[in-house]
Chains A and B, each alone.
Chain A
């Protein structure tokens, strides 16, 4: 769910842009440093951005029978880490606004804050926390994707409630209104995205161990409980 073009009043649009800016600038600096040290990273990061863009274009069957699309923030954060996701997410949201008329330029700051900053950080935090307590890789991946998806929508609810407080009950009433609408649709979608992310990660562990190791998701040299069932154990451990 992106906030559509022109949906936020100017003051809110500017405020969310200002709130997002330090994270995006920090991400851009990390990316510039990385590219300066390893010029070949440009292509890898570009490929990652394209992957995120394509991932967000996949249609996800939802429990209610309708279709939605994954935010991809959880998988992106696990694969590429949150600082890089702030930049890749901003690029993806810019492309979505200009190439798909999805989201907007005046709401870019707000969408970046929810989808490219809070979602990845919350999802990555949940993933790392579970990994620290030695949870199976796939359980951590599911939780990371679920939390990233849901936190994105929680922040979007807050952004909308701040912009459109309820005439009777103010901010809290509006938060309940937007939150309950999202809860009905987004909790099943967050579960769906978590399941999809686990399925994608299972395939990646089997087929792209090299890339996952290069990205630092897997470290070679240790047997790992993936939690993905028999026959998919891998000599790796998540960072």
Chain B
């Protein structure tokens, strides 16, 4: 199991309905990209961090390990805004408002990422996917997604073992060997995926498979109180943003 999903399964909010957590986590993400980055995204970032480390109980180290990935992409992407092409300064020169634009983008993306992480760290995929049918996603697509999800872990485990075996046989000793090993890894993943699908098919056929995968979903109801509190928090962040905008400069 992947670290974020493993954390979601042991989350304090594991038993909450996904809608509750979507309103809060994805609501924060929507606010992060909709509000003015300064001070809106900064407030969203602080709020998401406080909820993640506080009520949601996500361990700080786990959060950092997951968060540094999008943070790296955000920082790399923001760097491009520091320069401009053409103009009086030459073919490539520093953009006058580059640092402000890059800072705003960094704030917006880092805050938005935390909102999604709040949802991902508290909602296991196995709770979310079966409920997508009620949201209008065709049952066949959800079934394929469920099989994909469950088979991904098995395949990732297989790939890890094959990689270890290749390393033990000096399969990564040279660049040519590395390419050979990588190609073998890709082909093995394909063969194993189809082999597993065939065996699953045979097993399910023996149990009267009619094309529908029935899975147990933990019973949970959306909490009106939790959703109302989330909506109030989101409204407070939005109101505080507009209140603060009259006191702080437009950008930094």
Contact = CB atoms under 8 A, between A and B. Distances in A.
A22 interface: no
Contact of B189 (A55, A101, A181): A55
A95 B141 contact: no
Please tell me the size bucket of the interface on B: 35 or more
A222 to B, nearest CB: 23
Interface in B1-21: 2, 4-5
A46 B211 contact: no
B159 interface: yes
B196 interface: yes
Contacts of A95: 125, 148-149, 152
Interface in A86-143: 87-88, 91-92, 94-95, 97-102, 104-106
Given A101-B69, A169-B86, A203 B184 contact: yes
B65 to A, nearest CB: 9
A221 B91 CA distance: 59
Among B69, B84, B120, B194, max chain A CB count under 10 A is at B194
A48 interface: yes
B197 A9 contact: no
Main secondary structure of the interface of A (DSSP, over half): helix
Interface stretch (A146-154, A171-179, A230-238): A171-179
Interface in B135-186: 137-138, 140-141, 143-152, 154-156, 159, 175, 178-180, 182-186
Contacts of A160: 77, 80
Interface string A53-66: 11101101100000
Given A61-B179, A173-B84, 13 more contacts: A6-B29, A10-B33, A36-B211, A42-B213, A44-B197, A50-B155, A51-B190, A54-B155, A99-B125, A164-B105, A167-B87, A168-B95, A199-B180
30 contacts: A4-B113, A5-B29, A6-B29, A6-B33, A7-B105, A32-B140, A39-B211, A46-B147, A47-B147, A47-B194, A49-B144, A49-B148, A54-B156, A91-B141, A98-B116, A101-B113, A104-B113, A166-B86, A167-B84, A168-B85, A168-B86, A168-B87, A168-B95, A173-B86, A176-B85, A196-B186, A199-B180, A200-B187, A200-B190, A208-B191
Q: Which 6 A-B pairs have the closest CB atoms?
A: A46-B147, A6-B112, A199-B183, A39-B211, A49-B148, A168-B87
Interface of B: 2, 4-5, 26, 29-30, 32-34, 66-67, 69-70, 73-74, 77, 80-81, 83-87, 95-98, 101, 105, 108-113, 116-117, 119-120, 125, 128, 137-138, 140-141, 143-152, 154-156, 159, 175, 178-180, 182-187, 189-191, 193-194, 196-198, 200-201, 204-205, 209-211, 213
